[in-house]
Amino acid sequence: MAPYLQSLAFTRFQTFISCTAAFITYFLAGNIAWDIAIYYTIGSLIGSQLAVRVAQKISTRQLKFVLHAVTIALLLQLILRIAFP
């Protein structure tokens, strides 16, 4: 398995564990909006499956470009939200 695919798989697993822990915490606290939680769950499952399947079909160079572009876009979004609240 390519290092990027392995990294992607580990990231998806970590996200799953994190979301499961958050779900259990909110469930025990009684703070779950079930209608929104169901849509987020379905979207997360579909998105993770698409990410893994698309990552297998593109080259490592393209994958690096997408990863860097998304990281830069998220950083810019964060900077803009802090600068212009």
Domain ranges of the chain: 3-83
pLDDT attached to residue 77: 95
Closest CA to 51 of 18, 9, 17: 9
Residue 25: pLDDT band with limits 50, 70, 90: confident
pLDDT attached to residue 7: 76
> pTM to 2 decimals?
0.50
Residue-wise pLDDT tens digits, 33-75: 777 777 877 888 888 788 778 877 888 788 788 889 999 999 9
CA 22 to chain centre: 15
Closest CA to 11 of 53, 54, 40, 52: 52
Closest CA to 40 of 62, 23, 57, 53: 23
- The answer to whether the beta carbons of residues 12 and 51 sit under 8 Å apart is yes
